Structure formats: structure tokens, C-alpha cells
Structure 1
């Protein structure tokens, strides 16, 4: 499991470390397969990961030792780690962390592994808390958290790098026109037909145009808020 970032140890280096341990004279083993779950959250249970999961179910008879680069690559949740360890014990498997020198087939290795797993879970909780705190701070400042511009608004970039939503004067007025007509006797189809007839770009096309891109093509509104076809 790895979340790929600039400072992430590459999967190739991790694989090389595991292979060097497995084929070295101290072990004299062989690698029967690899499980690489790139950009998969450490909070996901190892049994459910697309790369690692099948090795516990479909291919459980193919291996004897689960060798990982570091224990936090296996799981950042102490509870999940304990379940994997229990499964390995019941099924005659061992877990080894090649860079931390932890062999969980030994009593000392089991103790260190449990301590490291607890710290890994604490680190995950800290990351989550920091992310939530950042989101809350941006909301308090009225800064847009993410996603495309909603109908009738555009982004106004702030000095600190954030973005606020500011009304688009043209489409804010158009939105008020649409809602007024809907409250009257205009149907959605009639409004869409009128906007197309007037050559008013859809909101998505308007965003393309303001960013210097070509329009998506024929207006093709199916509803007043529908995208271009």
C-alpha cells in the first residue's frame, strides 16, 4: 500500500528491498508474487484491498511468509493489523518487515509489531484530524473547498491561495430570470428552447469560454440547467 507523493519511497525500491531479503542467504527463499495497492488508503482493511486481498482468500495456499517493506505498508489500523496477524497464526503464515527487522514468528517480533501498528494508527488519526481542521478553517473563511463552479458563480482566487465563490453577474441574473419563469407558466422545455434560440451558452460552455476554451458544440439543452451534448 502506498499513497504516491514526491517524497514517497518508490514501489520499485520497496520491491527491491523485499526481494533482497527473500533471496538472501539468511532466508534463501523465493518470491511467489507481489501485492501493490498504489493510492489505496491505509485505513482500508488488508483483506479488502484489490492487490493484497486475494492473497488471503484465493491464493492463501501459495505462500508461507508475508514480507512487507514496513509494517505501516500492511496497515495503519491496529485493529486490522491484529486481524491479519491472527489470520496468519491460524493459517501457519509469518509476517516480516524487511527494513525494520521484525519477524513476527518470534515473541520479540510480535511485541514490536504491535507497538508499531499502534503508532501507525495514531499517525493516521493525526492526518485525518489535520485534514478536517483545514477544511473547517476554509469553511469559516468562506473559501471554496472543492469541485467545479456551481451555476451562477465563479472563483475568485485569494492571496493565500484559496478560492472564494463570487456571483457571475450575467448568469446570476439569468438564474433569477429562469426561476421567475418557472414560478409562472413557463415549462422547463419552453425555457430551454428560448435560451437556445437566444444563443445563450450553457453554464458549462460559459465556463469553457471564460477559460479561453472552445465551446462544447451545439447548445442542446434538455432542461434549463442541462449540459451541452
Structure 2
């Protein structure tokens, strides 16, 4: 994305919109800011890496494809190689929106089938019992403290140490040097 902006930004102001939400919904904080800015005329073009980064529902994406030309906002998908300002680009965008929704639905079916199979085999998931106290090695405690002092996010610390976020918070409270 940065390379595209450097090559084609044409001295336009570039604003980055990044969400950490699922693309299965079009109601996401950064997305809402982007579409609001587009409606206020602050954007001339939206550039995405791939169309499925915008959303994974055909309805949401096709509504967007209809709305953007009315707002005089172009859409470029770098990886998909399309531009909504051309008839071929609009056709491909709608096809790719359908494919993105299809992939999401197939993935959901596989997850449901895997969960059903696991239930039939008596497997359970969902974490430990509430109130269960985990004992950590001194290395894990040191790593949690070290990563915290480096300013790492609690979720990243939890993943790195193989524990839950509440465990990270508990350790940081428990071993707080102050």
C-alpha cells in the first residue's frame, strides 16, 4: 500500500483507515470514518490491497460499488488489479464481492462441521473453569514483565507466553514493583 501511495499519490493527502474488525460486517469504526469522509467530499479515491479487505458480504460491497460513483470517489484494488472507474473494473469488482462472500460462507460451514465433529467426539473448548489458578514458571513471569516494560500490548504478551490476557493482567498486578 505504501509503495502504491508513493508511486501514485500525486501529492494528494493520504489518510490511512485500518480496522481490526471482521470484514463480515460493514459496521466497523475505521470503515464508518472512511465512508463518512467520502460522503463529506474529503476523498477522491479509496485504495485497498484486496477487495475482501473492505468487506466480505456481496450486499455490502455491491452497495458500496453503487454509492462511490455517486460520491465521485474512485476505488482501486491493488492486488485484484481493478479500478471501479471502468466498466470491466465494475464487473470484476462485483464478481470478486460474490467470491468473497462465498469464501466466508464456505469457511463458516467448515468451522460448524468441525465443531459438530468435535462435540460428537466429546471434545470441549472455551478455556479453563472460572477461578482456576494457573501457576506460571519464573521464566513466564519474567517474560510477561519484560514485554510489558517494552510497551507490548497485553494480547501480544499473552500469545507470546501461552497464557490468557486475564493471566497477564493478574501477573502484572501481582508482581507490580511499585
Shift of 1:75: 1.4
Task: Tell me what 1:95 maps to.
Answer: 75
Distance 2:36 2:68 in 1: 12
Structure 1: segments with no counterpart, 5+ residues: 1-14, 151-203, 214-229
Shift in CA distance, 103/59, structure 1 to aligned 2, threshold 3 Å: closer
Q: Give the conservation status (yes or no) of the 8 Å contact 1:65–1:93.
A: yes
Match in the other structure for 2:8: 22
Looking at both structures, which has the greater relative contact order when contacts are Cα pairs under 8 Å and sequence separation is at least 6?
A: 2
How many residue pairs get aligned? The number is 135
TM-score in terms of structure 1 length: 0.54
Structure 1 stretches of 4+ moved >3 Å = none
CA distance in 1 between counterparts of 2:4 and 2:135 reads 49
Aligned to 2:22: 41
Residues 1:118 and 2:98 are matched in the alignment: yes
Maintained 8 Å contact 1:17/1:69: no
When Rg is computed on C-alpha atoms for both structures, the one with the higher figure is 1
Q: Secondary structure at the match of 2:30?
A: coil
RMSD of aligned alpha carbons:
1.9
| Distance apart, 1:100 and its partner CA | 2.1
Counterparts of 1:144 and 1:93, CA distance in 2: 48
Whole-Å Cα distance in 2 between the matches of residues 126 and 17 of structure 1? 33
Which structure dedicates a bigger proportion of its chain to helix? 2
Pair 1:131-2:111 in alignment: yes
* Secondary structure, aligned partner of 2:117: helix
Unaligned runs of 5+ in 2: 137-178
